[in-house]
Structure formats: C-alpha cells, structure tokens
Amino acid sequence: MASAQVTGSTVDRIRTDGPTGRGGRARDWAEIQERMLVPLYQDVYRRLEVGAATSLLGVGCRSGLALLLAAGRGAQVAGVEADGGLRELAAARGLQVSPGGPAEGVARSAHPVPRPAHSLVTVFEQPPVPALVARAAARALPGGQVVVASWGPAERCESAAVLEVARRHAPLGAPDPFAAAGPGALESLLAAAGTRPSGGGRVACPFAYAGLDSAVRGLLSTGLFDRAEEAAGTALVAKELEEALHPFLRPDGSVRMANEFRWAVGTRPRG
C-alpha cells in the first residue's frame, strides 16, 4: 500500500493551483472528475427523453461535458458558467458558454440562435443552492422543466468519509455537500423556485481514479474543499484527503468509492 503522504507531483500541482489559481483545477475537473457524473447526466436525459425537440440550458455547466452529451442526443444546448478557466475548456470542446446574462451562447445546434428561455434547464452544480435554482427556473419556458441534483444520503456515499476533511477544516457556514440529500429537499428547492415538482430519480455514480494522485487532484477540483484550503492551507488539506482515501485504495493502486446521486425535476407553470 502506498505511503500516507502526499506525492511530490500532487504537492507541486496543488501549490500552484489552489483556490487562488484555478487554471490547473479547471483542467483537473475536465480531465479527471467530470466523468464521474456521467451516469447522472445520462439518467436525467434518458428519463426526460432529451432529443432534437429539446432546448437545454445548463446553469453552472462547468467545462460542458453534460452539454456535449445532450447535444449528442440532438438537443440544442447552451451553457452558463462563472469560472473563466472552465469556460475556456468548454470553448475548446466546441461549446459557447457564457458567464451569464440575457443572451446565452448556443453550442452544437442545428439552429444556433440564442434563446431567452429553454424547455429544460439543469443545475448539476454541487451543492445546489436556492439562488442558483431560482435563476434556473427563471430561464425555463412556461411548461418547461428544471432539474436539480445532489449527493444522496451520506450513508449511501462512500465519498462522505473524504468530504469530512472539508467539513473539519471549513469555517462555520461553509456549504454542506449533503444539505439537499434528505427526503423532499430537492423538491423543496424546486417548489421555492416556483416550479411544480414532477418526478426524479437516483443513480449510482462511483468515483474511480487511476491512483491516489489523480483522486486527490480530482476531488480538490470540485470546489468542495476550497473553504477548507483557505482556512487550513492546501498542503494540509491534500495530505488529510489522501489519508482519508486509503480505505478505498485497491491492490492495483486504483481508488474507487461507491456513491449515490439524486435528482428531481420541476415543471414551470403555464400562464
């Protein structure tokens, strides 16, 4: 079994790409972490029959993998992402993702015309916060749908053990990844945003990494550890994160954690 110390390559990466330098973190998200949520994206799109008739807006779309999957089903897609590094990576994938505003970019569409409202708006950003959900609902057409997603209950997520590192060091008031994991929590967010909850699902999203180095980099790229890094320092958080990952280390050196994610959909009223 590998040593419980952070490897040199990880230390070098996190020293230059912590919360104050997001370029490397954006790349780590796109290259390592984002694919872990593909089962969630696919389940939503399959259940909601996303296709050529769908105009989809991803609010907090990060580097755009979810948009690419929807475009691959024939949907007209647009994205909003505040982080400039993530927007650049989305652009490298052929996507036009804006920082927000009335005219959102449209990507990989047979009809590349910006729309003021969409038939489906998704919030896959974690954790889903009320302001973001309300913003998403405002961009849905009357009769359109809004999707929000979250981690499942902590007891169904092996990654809860490593997220405890963030909770231990983050200041009071830092976002709780499992805040929307309880029964009815996602539906309450949708209702508060003015939509009528109309369904949902749960899906297994295992987090699998080639090794401890990629696991540390991938998890730090989620943003869930940013407040802890600011309070305790990136090197200490990364060291404790690697130690917390050891129970999930496999004989071949890979890391795997079983997780459940949940999603819910609300419909915006007509008229």
Predicted confidence band at 15 (pLDDT cuts at 50, 70, 90)? very low
Q: Tell me the CATH number at 189.
A: 3.40.50.150
pLDDT beyond 50 at 112: no
**Whether 18 contacts 234, CB under 8 Å:** yes
Assign 3-class secondary structure to the chain: CCCCCCCHHHHHHHHHCCCCCCHHHHHHHHHHHHHHHHHHHHHHHHHCCCCCCCEEEEECCCCCHHHHHHHHCCCEEEEECCCHHHHHHHHHCCCCEECCCCCCCEECCCCCCCCCCEEEEEECCCCCCHHHHHHHHHCEEEEEEEEEEEECCHHHCCCHHHHHHHHHHCCCCCCCCCCCCCCCHHHHHHHHCCCEEEEEEEEECCEEECCHHHHHHHHHCCCCCHHHHHHHCHHHHHHHHHHHHHHHECCCCCEEECCEEEEEEEECCCC
pLDDT in tens, 60-100: 999 999 999 999 999 999 999 999 999 999 999 999 899 97
pLDDT at 174: 82
**Nearest alpha-carbon partner for 152 in 37, 31, 268:** 37
For residue 239, being part of any structural domain is answered with yes
Whether 194 is covered by a domain: the verdict is: yes
Report yes or no on 255 lying in a domain.
yes
pLDDT for position 69: 98
Q: What percent of the chain has pLDDT over 90?
A: 81
Domain count, the chain: 1
Residue 181 has pLDDT above 90, yes or no: yes
Q: Is 1 among the domain residues?
A: no
In a domain, 2, yes or no: no
Residue 271 above 80 pLDDT?
no
3 found inside a domain: no
pLDDT confidence of 115, banded at 50, 70, 90? Answer: low
* pLDDT band per the 50, 70, 90 thresholds, residue 159: very high
Domain that includes residue 226, residue range: 8-267
Question: Which pLDDT does position 20 carry in this prediction?
Answer: 43
pLDDT over 70 for what percent of the chain? Answer: 86
Tally Cβ neighbours within 10 Å of residue 153.
15
Q: How far apart are the C-alpha atoms of 63 and 155, rounded to whole Å?
A: 29
- Beta-carbon contacts of 38 under 8 Å, excluding residues fewer than 6 positions away, are 65, 69
